[in-house]
Amino acid sequence: MIAYAGPFISEFRSELEKGWVLKLKEIGLPHTENVRMSQYLGDPVKILNWNLCGLPKDDTSIENGIIIDKSKRWALMIDPQTQANKYIRKLGSDIPEGMDVIKASSAQLLRQVEQGISFGKWILVENVGINLDPALEPVLGRQVVKKGTSRFIMLGDKEVPYNEGFKFFMTTTNPNPHYSPEISAKVTIINFGITPLGLEEQMLALVVIMESPDVEKKKGDIVKTNAADKKKLQDIEDIILKSLYESTGDILMDESLINGLAQSKKTSGEINVRMLESKAAEITIDAARESYRPVAYRTS
């Protein structure tokens, strides 16, 4: 999904995902039933933070957020309604090193990219056309060279020290650009264009916030609690494994290990009960949200 689905609209992505899952069944490859990219790679707390930064709450936008986050190539976003632009600007505003926004046609483009690479800034290039500046080739290809303990990137005839905090984003307001295979291979093209279905999902989120803010708050609280509980379970597992690894002699005689295991079992039991309660509460909340669906449909 990260490698191939970015340029497509939600309906086609959904078809792709279903087709791939059917193929897994057909060839007998073991897999999680009804596996979806957004469930498997999505971190609920991270997604909540992205939403606060202006990422729309529909499935396609959340998938786009995951693709930006996980992709090895820099993102080029098809963004006719400028939603991606606003989201990246807000996300970058919290970065200590700061963020520079510059137009693709600017004469200062290379200079600002160079500064971004050196100081670990985020760079957002707006109004990208069909062709990209050839001077950006080393940046798009992430052509980082290691010399001793330092890392560099060649920008023109200049050796620029590479800071790991550097991130590079591009947006275009062209709703249907045709990029060459060469450009498509260098960047991750992500389609933020709104479809009627995507707009309906965004409207639903807005209507629920306005009409039942308590429902939306409860959903946010459940997401945070579940994430904290999952982290706690992971920590418990790590402690048990560490204790078993460091234990010497007969583990049944190791009192601290036995007590630790008993406490871990009790805590994980409590967490599992809480997670089941959360799941039931989420079903109720989703049903309450869906009651506003006709309003969201009419609004879109």
What's the pLDDT tens digit per position in 170-204?
999 999 999 999 999 999 999 999 888 889 988 99
**Domain annotation covers residue 214:** yes
**Domain annotation covers residue 14:** no
- Count other Cβ atoms within 10 Å, centred on residue 56: 26
Which range marks the domain in which residue 253 is found?
Answer: 201-299
Name, of 45-59, 105-119, 235-249, 275-289, the range with top average pLDDT: 105-119
Q: Which of helix, strand or coil describes residue 5?
A: coil
Segment 17-55, tens digit of pLDDT: 999 999 999 999 999 888 889 989 998 889 988 988 999
- Percent of the chain at pLDDT above 90? 56
Q: Give residue 242's pLDDT.
A: 84
**Domain annotation covers residue 89:** no
For residue 146, what are its two tokens?
């290691």
* β-pair partners for 99: 122
Q: What is the pTM of this model?
A: 0.83
Q: Compute the distance between CA of residue 260 and CA of residue 263 in angstroms, rounded to an integer.
A: 5
**Domain annotation covers residue 17:** no
**Domain annotation covers residue 258:** yes
Q: What is the pairing mode between strands 122-126 and 167-172?
A: parallel
Q: Which of helix, strand or coil describes residue 99?
A: strand
Q: Compute the distance between CA of residue 183 and CA of residue 132 in angstroms, rounded to an integer.
A: 8
**Domain annotation covers residue 86:** no
**Domain annotation covers residue 8:** no
**Domain annotation covers residue 255:** yes
How many structural domains is the chain composed of?
A: 1
Q: Look up residue 48 and give its amino acid.
A: L
Across all residues in the chain, what is the average pLDDT? 90
Q: Compute the distance between CA of residue 220 and CA of residue 166 in angstroms, rounded to an integer.
A: 30
With contact defined as beta carbons under 8 Å apart, do 117 and 159 qualify? no
